Amino acid sequence: MGTGMTKTQRIEISERITGATPAARCRQAQEFFGIRLSGIDEIKVYKIAAETLPPAPVLHEVFADPVLQKLHIAATAMPAKTPAYAIEISFRPGVTDNAARAAEMALKQTGYDARVASSSLYFLYGDISAADAEKLSAEMLANPLIQKIDVMPYDDFMRQNRFDSVQLPTVQLAPAEKLFETINLAIGDAALETLSTARCLALSLAEMKHIRDFYAQNDTATARAAAGLPALPTDVELEILAQSWSEHCKHKIFAADIDYTGPDGQTRNISSLYKTFIKRATQDVRHARGIDWLVSVFSDNAGIVRFDDNIDLCIKVETHNSPSALDPYGGALTGILGVNRDILGAGMGAKPIANTDVFCFAPPHMPKKGRENEMPQGPKSPRQILEGVHKGVEDGGNKSGIPTINGAFFFDEDYAGKPLVFVGTVGVMPHKLPDGRSAAEKHIHSGDVIVMTGGAIGADGIHGATFSSLALDENAPATAVQIGDPLTQKIMTDFLLEARDSGLYRAITDNGAGGLSSSVGEMAQMSGGATLDLARCPVKYPGLAPWELMVSESQERMTLAVPPESLDALLALAARRGVLATAIGHFTDSGDLHVTYDGKTVACLPLAFIHDSLPPLRLDAVWEGARPRSAWRGGARADNRSAAPDMATALLHLLQSPNITSKEKWVRDYDHEVQAATHIKPFAGTQEDGANDAGAIWLYPHGGAREHTAVVGCGMAPRLSPYDPYLMAQYAVDEAVRNVLCAGGDPDMLCLLDNFCWPDPVKSAKNPDGNYKMGQLVRSCEGLYDICLAYGAPLVSGKDSMKNDFRGLDKSGQNITISVLPTLMVTAMARGRTGIARGADFKSAGDAIYLLGSPDVSFCASEYAHYFKAPDDAPLPLDGSKNMDMYHRLHGALKSGLLQSLHDVSDGGLLCAVAESMIGGRLGAHIDAMDARAGFGEAPARFIASVAQKDAPAFEAAMTGTDCRRIGQVSETPALVCSDMNIPLGDIIAAWKKGF
Amino acid sequence: MGLRKPLFLVLCGDGINCERETASAFVHAGGDAHIMHINDILAAPEKLAAYDGLAVPGGFSFGDELGSGQIMALKIRHKLGEAFSRFVEKQKPVIGICNGFQVLVKLGLLPFPDARERLCALAPNAHGGFIDRWVTLAPQAGSRCIWTAGIENALRLPARHGEGRIVFADGQADALHKKLQDSGQIPFCYETDINGSYARIAALCDPTGHVLGLMPHPEAFMHAECAPNAREEQPGDGFIIFDNIIRHLQGQEKSLEKRIA
């Protein structure tokens, strides 16, 4: 800041051309809040502070397009009609304001240095009350967690001199008096637990005692005295330990020592689910099949596989559930940018080439009228979560230039307390960098410089890792909410890939959960130590305490290990590219993580204590068999399903249900083909509106072989969890595998990722059911292991999120707990071949329609049984080796060009799958007579295929020994004819395209 | 004897994200291309003169804040001004695709470089959001655009944008549209409306025909592997635009050789 007088200027920009947004907002206000607006105007506001203010012509040039907008720099009576209310929504101090940052850059181009803040001014028209205006601002237009809302009657608004007294939000932190506090842990158990809660450490009593005991050791005391540190732990140290040991970072539940009692009543000990089932699945598959294409699994930020002679692929899927519940847009945006950084931090850094996004939400039209009070207080409404998360993922992918090629929406009421937001990214890297080093390996030498690059540090995102390890309640800290900045990250990504190819660094990792504490703490293990000075870190504003600098999760940051001789070149390149990069310390071989502030030690912890000392959790787990599904309101779910209707009604109902209906309206908001390499797109068919089963990226533009693709698909079956989590896991894998098969994936070159999102599986007074949920987790891991072996598919990466419960009040003030369905989302990535996948759409009248897979089906957990009364079936088991034989034959038939279409049969059963293939091809179908069970029952390992009559004999020969039945024929007549049904194609299209 | 390969400069940086496929498109069509960071060309504007053509690729320059292309246009106008103007004055071919088109319009280079004030803009899509959809482009008779000369059949290309609706200054739309038609500055219109663009305009060129801006992405459809149903013949419909400009530049060279001889 200069010393001269700072002047301020407010500018307002109104639109000359009305867009679609105002009308959409009026509709939303009516539909979701029952408030009738006659109109709404949005005016963008910028507040500028500078020693020299830009003159009016510059403001016009920078801020407004003369054809589209009007710029106001002084009060004018703006609207032609008189609004009822004016609402100004600005960011709270310290919240990322991307528009303002860009405006600062824009002013810089014209020679003005200024600080800018942005806000939005809304004028509401219509006969509405002050309470209506408050409600719409807090629930539709703004998020009070991150934004400040001023609602004023229009007359009052006009009476104030808003252009004269201009205030920019400014973070003002009282500077800490001391660099650190020491914390006495020699206190009672209850006091230790209180301390953990009060400081948001999320450490258990056992962990608190473990820390206390460490500091009580004579060796520790001696070492600390030598380092000039107090005997008691500093707050910096305690925070480092809390972040490093958070469930989010350490995966304590997957590493726990478990006594598991299964359905046979026998109890056995399982030492680490991760080692026993996940890691071992990969080892055993690798060994059994002699796989040589696993380059790096479970050891880096992402799994790395070799499907090509020139390039490697890496893939990672993350979840971002808690932040997305509080701020859907910011949470999802931060999530997708975060997983992009995992790819950028894999090996020596990979380039993101595709995104995949899976959302589990409460149904978009929940709550039903009259049941609003049943919704939880705190999380946003299902519709706001849907729209906010969607927009966050759209901006995160599109603005980063990464195509979104695959995804899914899954709706169930049990996600009303916490949405699940799975965000994944595929990256590409060469086998070898230009200087000959392997791109998949990183090394750090003692003496290498620690460089932090990307954004600066703020208070945003303090305690993100520990926060996500707690159940949501009304007091969730607002600092845990962040807004990503795709522009900063894109510029940083371009810079880092350039620096990688110029050989300017030796190792890279992202600053995600836990901030510098995690990134430097983990990298330090490679050299044996690290020392860094927090005073050298660039900050967004002054006043942050050392512990805050150490654990802040401010976004868009990566940490590098840079050989001293390359430092100048790296920093110079960063400067040329407009990227912040700062040397903050160096790696050592001291065995310690040593942290200073301006040269004064504020923390020193042995790496061995941070990373390897914590004894595993001890947990009990029980799974005695299926339990009836109970609703989140507690007790058994009231059965208010309709009686089974006729089949035509049932089909049209299912086709428009949220889980089956077309998502085209949403998916077209995502750029799915930037980078010009998307081979299988989300849509297929004559009108390009039929859904495909998976996405595929052509590898040639990324340096791969001309015929290679990377096929990405996903699968899950959470509604099976109450019946049998073992099968739930297997169905999820099977669906993911079938989806990639449809898009041309080779079942022999296929890897899997596991993302577990579970309700809290640790028993406590608050969570009496913990052992059962842990039992479900064990059982699902068993299912996952067995299917990986049966399918010969290795797991290459995974993540778990273990506290997906809402505990708090509903809108009527009653206590409620809403736990998510135990959910395993499986992502499959396979090597595919160009040109062999034909899409899900029927191609020509006369083609034979086949059902591949067993005709046996079950209503258990089916979409049909969700809406209509149906027999209580048991779920069907799955025959892994039989399925795999079919998948190999099917892949062979695809390669031989014997198929015209291939579509997996999933939600809604066989007839829904046939209807979808008809929609894609705009053709009819004659299907052999069947009952509702055969038509809508569900089972794994099934497909609908169409085959030209001339190829039918060869196809049937190719499928010898598999369940392969001809069930009908594609017809020119635009209708689905089956039993006594004759549904016009137009009705089927209308139902399916209804959307939400 | 092979002709010299025309050399194109493809800008990158600040959120541009289609530089790689745009450069590959020129190379695939028989040219050469250098991808250069905008800051590097600002540091040495004289380098621009060495190129035969310039591409401003698609993407989200500066995150589309303050309007798509707005800040990149400010940067080019204020930091590269003269070198850029000289390049255009020499009638070297310039293409702006998607975000690049928005940059050229915000610069005032398209479609009326001589107008005192801006008369045309790319507004947010009529439906209010981003859209990724394949579109059919109908070539317009009488176009003077050198990039699209001789294209007679409709092209299929992907459109991927949030702000692609051509609008004109208040009250002047009909007259300005007629002026553009009369001067052959509308190379393509959408066959069916996708974003509310005036008269379904999808592309504009400057009065000389050397500067082209278009919303759909020709660089994204150079190969059959990228076709919507992934089963069309090589090459993709975008190829013809890059092939055209390279032939055009080589043709100039050929005629120059003839004259010298």
Residue A485 has pLDDT above 50, yes or no: yes
Neighbour tally for A431: CB within 10 Å: 15
Size of interface A-B (CB pairs under 8 A): 178
pLDDT for position A514: 84
**For chain A, give me the number of helices (H) and strands (E)?**
31, 39
Q: Give the residues across from A313 on adjacent strands.
A: A305, A428
- Cβ contacts of A21 within 8 Å, gap of 6 or more: A42, B128
CATH number at residue A844: 3.90.650.10
Averaged over A826-840, what is the pLDDT?
96
| A793 Ramachandran zone, left/alpha/beta (phi>0; psi -120 to 50) | beta
Chain B residue whose CA is closest to A707 = B225
Could you tell me what percent of chain A has a pLDDT over 90?
A: 82
From the list A95, A4, A107, the residue with the least C-alpha distance to A48 is A107
Determine which of A16-25, A91-100, A461-470, A939-948 has the lowest per-residue pLDDT on average: A461-470
More confident residue, A322 or B147: B147
With beta carbons under 8 A apart, name residues in chain B contacting A917. none
- Looking at the complex, does the CB of residue A63 fall below 8 Å from at least one CB of chain B? yes
Indicate yes or no: CB of B66 within 8 angstroms of CB of A491: no
Residue A463 has pLDDT above 80, yes or no: no
- Cβ contacts of B257 within 8 Å, gap of 6 or more: none
Residue A987 inside a domain? The answer is yes
> Measuring CA to CA, how many Å separate A740 from each of A830, A947, B155, B231, B255?
7, 19, 30, 18, 53
Neighbour tally for A702: CB within 10 Å: 24
Are B69 and A65 in contact, with CB atoms under 8 Å apart?
no
> Measuring CA to CA, how many Å separate A610 from each of A242, A448, A681, A930?
10, 21, 45, 62
Q: How many domains does chain A have?
A: 2
Confidence of residue B255 (pLDDT cuts 50, 70, 90): low
A771, burial (CB in 10 Å: exposed 0-12, middle 13-18, buried 19+):
buried
Residue A631 has pLDDT above 60, yes or no: no
3-state secondary structure of A576: helix
From the list A699, A685, A790, A740, the residue with the least C-alpha distance to A891 is A740
pLDDT for position A349: 97
Chain B residue whose CA is closest to A686 = B229
CATH number at residue A61: 3.30.1280.10
| pLDDT, tens only, A906-951 | 999 999 999 999 999 999 999 999 999 999 999 999 999 999 999 9
Distance from CA of B31 to the nearest CA of A (A): 17
With beta carbons under 8 A apart, name residues in chain A contacting B59. 401, 674
pLDDT for position A779: 97
Handedness of CA A813, A819, A821, A826 (dihedral sign): positive
pLDDT for position A627: 86
Are A711 and A832 in contact, with CB atoms under 8 Å apart?
yes
β-strands A257-261, A618-622 pairing: parallel
Averaged over B42-47, what is the pLDDT?
95
- The radius of gyration computed from the CA coordinates of chain B, to the nearest angstrom, equals 17
3-state secondary structure of A264: coil
Indicate yes or no: CB of A102 within 8 angstroms of CB of B40: no
From the list A600, A829, A588, A610, the residue with the least C-alpha distance to A713 is A829
| Helix/strand/coil (H/E/C) assignment for every residue in A886-935 | HHHHHHHHHHCCCCCEEEECCCCHHHHHHHHHHHHHCCEEEECCCCHHHH
Are A911 and A991 in contact, with CB atoms under 8 Å apart?
no
How would you list the strands of the sheet with B94-97, edge to edge? Answer: B32-37, B7-12, B53-56, B94-97, B211-214, B203-205
Between A280-289 and A770-791, two packed helices, what is the crossing angle to 10 degrees? Answer: 10
pLDDT for position A303: 94
Residue A468 has pLDDT above 60, yes or no: no
Angle, vertex CA A976, rays to CA A970 and CA A980, nearest 5 = 125
| pLDDT, tens only, A266-286 | 999 999 999 999 999 999 999
Rounded Cα–Cα distance for residues A756 and A750 (Å): 20
Distance from CA of A8 to the nearest CA of B (A): 19
Distance from CA of B211 to the nearest CA of A (A): 21
Residue A943 has which token pair? 């497909």
Q: Which of A66, A494, A677 sits opposite B13 (nearest CB)?
A: A494
Indicate yes or no: CB of B158 within 8 angstroms of CB of A394: no
| Helix/strand/coil (H/E/C) assignment for every residue in A68-81 | CEEEECCCCCCCCC
CA within 13 Å, CB half, A209: 7
Residue A25 inside a domain? The answer is yes
Residue A422 has pLDDT above 90, yes or no: yes
Largest CA distance in chain A: 88
Q: What are phi and psi of A454, to 5 degrees?
A: 105, -125
A188, burial (CB in 10 Å: exposed 0-12, middle 13-18, buried 19+):
exposed
Residue A68 has pLDDT above 80, yes or no: yes
User: Mean pLDDT score of chain A, rounded to an integer?
Assistant: 93
Rounded Cα–Cα distance for residues B64 and B69 (Å): 6
Rounded Cα–Cα distance for residues A14 and A745 (Å): 51
Indicate yes or no: CB of A109 within 8 angstroms of CB of B78: yes
Distance from CA of A923 to the nearest CA of B (A): 17
| pLDDT, tens only, B158-208 | 999 999 999 999 999 999 999 999 999 999 999 999 999 999 999 999 999
Distance from CA of A863 to the nearest CA of B (A): 30
Confidence of residue A482 (pLDDT cuts 50, 70, 90): confident
Q: Give the residues across from A398 on adjacent strands.
A: none
Residue A174 has pLDDT above 50, yes or no: yes
Secondary element (H or E) of residue B28:
helix B19-28
Domain segments of chain B: what residues?
7-260
Rounded Cα–Cα distance for residues A123 and A87 (Å): 6
Residue A733 has which token pair? 């894998």
For residue A628, the one-letter residue type is P
Indicate yes or no: CB of A105 within 8 angstroms of CB of B20: no
pLDDT for position B115: 93
With beta carbons under 8 A apart, name residues in chain B contacting A101. 65
- The per-residue DSSP string of A609-660 comes to HHHH-PPPPEEEEE--S----B-TTSSBPP--PBPP--HHHHHHHHHTSTTT
Angle, vertex CA B122, rays to CA B119 and CA B128, nearest 5 = 135
Dihedral angle, C-alpha A142, A147, A151, A157, nearest 10 °: -120
Indicate yes or no: CB of B132 within 8 angstroms of CB of A669: yes
Residue A951 has which token pair? 């190829």
CA within 13 Å, CB half, A378: 28
Residue A319 inside a domain? The answer is no
| Helix/strand/coil (H/E/C) assignment for every residue in A804-831 | CEEEEEECCCCEEEEECCCEEEEEEEEE
Residue A844 inside a domain? The answer is yes
| pLDDT, tens only, B71-122 | 999 999 999 989 999 999 999 999 999 999 999 999 999 999 999 999 999 9
Which residues of A, range 6-45, sit inside 8 Å of B by Cβ?
Answer: 16-17, 19-21, 24
Q: Which of A16, A98, A835 sits opposite B230 (nearest CB)?
A: A835
Indicate yes or no: CB of A102 within 8 angstroms of CB of B127: no
Handedness of CA A843, A846, A848, A849 (dihedral sign): positive
> What size, in residues, is chain A?
996
Angle, vertex CA A391, rays to CA A388 and CA A393, nearest 5 = 110
Note the ipTM here: 0.95
Looking at A135, A159, A183, which one is the last position of a domain? A159
Handedness of CA A272, A278, A282, A288 (dihedral sign): positive
Detail the DSSP E strand segments found in A257-403: 257-261, 267-271, 294-296, 303-305, 311-319, 351-361
- Cβ contacts of A194 within 8 Å, gap of 6 or more: none
Residue B209 has which token pair? 């025909």
With beta carbons under 8 A apart, name residues in chain B contacting A401. 17-18, 59-60
pLDDT for position A78: 64
Residue A761 has which token pair? 């599986």
State how far Cα A490 lies from the chain centre.
Answer: 18
What residues make up the domain containing A106?
7-159
From the list A514, A563, A510, A559, the residue with the least C-alpha distance to A532 is A559
Residue A762 has pLDDT above 60, yes or no: yes
pLDDT for position B63: 93
Averaged over A367-373, what is the pLDDT?
84
Rounded Cα–Cα distance for residues A768 and A36 (Å): 45
pLDDT for position B259: 47
Residue B243 has which token pair? 């092939």
With beta carbons under 8 A apart, name residues in chain A contacting B71. 102, 105-106, 109
pLDDT for position B261: 43
Choosing among 3.40.50.880, 3.40.50.720, 3.30.300.280, 3.40.50.261, the CATH entry for B7-260 is 3.40.50.880
pLDDT for position A2: 44
pLDDT for position A752: 98
For residue A54, whether the previous peptide bond is cis, meaning omega lies within 30 degrees of 0, is: no
- Cβ contacts of A993 within 8 Å, gap of 6 or more: A661, A662, A664, A689, A919
Averaged over A587-596, what is the pLDDT?
97
pLDDT for position A1: 41
Residue A132 inside a domain? The answer is yes
Residues of B assigned a catalytic role? 98, 217, 219
| pLDDT, tens only, A763-782 | 999 899 999 999 999 999 99
With beta carbons under 8 A apart, name residues in chain B contacting A837. 230
Residue A307 inside a domain? The answer is no
Dihedral angle, C-alpha B122, B123, B129, B133, nearest 10 °: -30
With beta carbons under 8 A apart, name residues in chain B contacting A671. 130, 132, 160
Q: Give the residues across from B120 on adjacent strands.
A: B168
| Helix/strand/coil (H/E/C) assignment for every residue in B71-104 | HHHHHHHHHCHHHHHHHHHCCCCEEEECHHHHHH
Averaged over A415-439, what is the pLDDT?
96
| A792 Ramachandran zone, left/alpha/beta (phi>0; psi -120 to 50) | left
Q: What are phi and psi of A108, to 5 degrees?
A: -60, -40
- The per-residue DSSP string of A418-467 comes to S-EEEEEEEEEEESB-TTS-BTT-----TTPEEEEEES-B-STTTTHHHH
